[in-house]
Amino acid sequence: LRPIKVIGSRDTFTVIVECLPLSPGLIVEVLEISAVDESLMGHRLRVTLRVQGLKPSISLEKLSPPPPNWSSTCGILDFGNCLMLDNNITKKFTIHNKSTFTIDASIIRVVSNNLSPGQQADFIERTASGLPIFSFRPERLQILQGTSAEIEVIFRPDRGRFLPFREDLDIFIGKTDEVYRVGVLGRAWSRQYFVTPGDPRDEPFTYSIFKGIASVEDTLLVHSSAVIRTAAKEARKVIDLSFPESPNILLKFPDPFDPNANPSTYVEIAAAPAAPTGKGPAKGAPPVPVAAPGSRQQTKRLYFNSTKVSDNRAGVTPGSFEVILSQEAKESGLWSLSVDKGSLTAASVDAAAVAVDVTCTLPKPRSLGGVVVGSWKAFQVEVVLKGGWCLPGESDEHRMWITLEAYVGL
């Protein structure tokens, strides 16, 4: 209506009102139309405009479920186990716009949120050559109603380490308060073949993810103060370097005879049948089993894995593994393996890992005066991995130790 419009006698004028809600909720505006010269005693028209800003509806696809302390609308993009120096590792996730209107989205790194562009660059974890360990594209996009857009994430691990590389991304939708988080992580190895426990909770990092626990340094990486963020970043570097890339594994078997033991964690083994005595069962009849319970078995699993290999580097070959119980473990009679050796295969995707079950069979402990006495005992297992890619100058044979702990009654 600006500049001033002239409307002739008995004439009409069309007013077009365009509305573009920038946030969800009810928005109210008042449009007033009046004569410029008040002496003409014209009417003053007031038109109330109301619009309900709709809340955008999106979903994230091609992601793993989020940890318990995140919203169910978020997710994890897991690159899995990768080989260091592989620069061709890419994964994608999808943003699907289920709204009835077009949305604008922007993606930022959580660690650099609310920082100046110069400060943001300081908090990005980088390779030795200066490239980001994780990069993504696009950073800003427009998604039409009912359509989807793919976000490509690139992982460039230039070194192997025990703790996975990690980056959290926040997806902002328009100027609303809608924020969706995507956790990006990937683990890099300096050898093609490696061992992991079957229960992810046996590893410190994956245990914390499973429980939804955030470390102190990760929490402080998003602090409002850039000084505190810098200190947290340096602390995380020191912690990362303190872990060996392939630490020894501890498999701890809880006491299956504990009164509070969960029956689902062990298998009851029937006691050895009693020998017939006196006028027992007729010849050839099955012996009568002893009523008292016998041993209890617990099993934990080890996985022998191959990293994903997406480039054509030399030295990527099939391999093998061997699991060797120590002499003490053999003589104890408590331990058995489902298989003690096998072959390993390289793959361009997550290869099917070879599973080895470690079983601990504990006899029923005897009581002394009604008190059951026992102690924790540790046994060693040696693992030998052969073949596959490794750093130039290193042997393709790798040895590591696995500790088995069990509560053994007297």
- Preceding peptide of 138 cis, ω within 30°: yes
pTM of the model: 0.70
Q: Give the CA distances from residue 233 to residues 6, 27, 131, 164, 242, in Å, rounded to whole numbers and listed in that order.
A: 65, 43, 17, 15, 15
**Cα distance between residue 272 and residue 293, in whole Å:** 9
Residue 79 binned pLDDT confidence (cut-offs 50, 70, 90): very high
3-class secondary structure, 238: helix
Let me know if 242 is exposed, middle or buried by CB neighbors in 10 A (0-12, 13-18, 19+). Answer: exposed
Q: Residue 60: is its pLDDT beyond 90? A: yes
% of the chain with per-residue pLDDT over 90: 34
Nearest to 306 by CA among 272, 333, 250, 344: 344
* Cβ 76 vs Cβ 183: under 8 Å: yes
Residue 271 binned pLDDT confidence (cut-offs 50, 70, 90): low
- 3-state helix/strand/coil string of 180-235: EEEEEEEEEECECEEEEECCHHHCHHHHHHHHCCCCHHHHHCCCCCHHHHHHHHHH
Q: Residue 295: is its pLDDT beyond 50? A: yes
3-class secondary structure, 79: strand
What is the rounded average pLDDT of the residues 302-313? Answer: 85
Dihedral over Cα of 236, 239, 240, 241: its sign:
positive
Residue 365's pLDDT is 82
Residue 287 binned pLDDT confidence (cut-offs 50, 70, 90): very low
Question: Which DSSP string corresponds to 249-304?
Answer: EEEEE--TTSTT--GGG-EEPPPPBPPP-SS-SPTTSPPPBPSS---EEEEEEEEE
pLDDT tens digits for 235-247?
A: 555 555 555 556 6
pLDDT tens digits for 98-109?
A: 988 889 999 999
Q: Which residue has the tokens 């012996």?
A: 287
What is the rounded average pLDDT of the residues 326-344? Answer: 94
Across the chain, what does the average pLDDT equal?
80
pLDDT tens digits for 395-409?
A: 989 999 999 999 987
How does DSSP classify residue 348?
S
Q: Give the CA distances from residue 264 to residues 211, 334, 358, 370, in Å, rounded to whole numbers and listed in that order.
A: 21, 20, 17, 26
* Cβ 290 vs Cβ 343: under 8 Å: no
Q: How many CB atoms lie within 10 A of CB 409?
A: 15
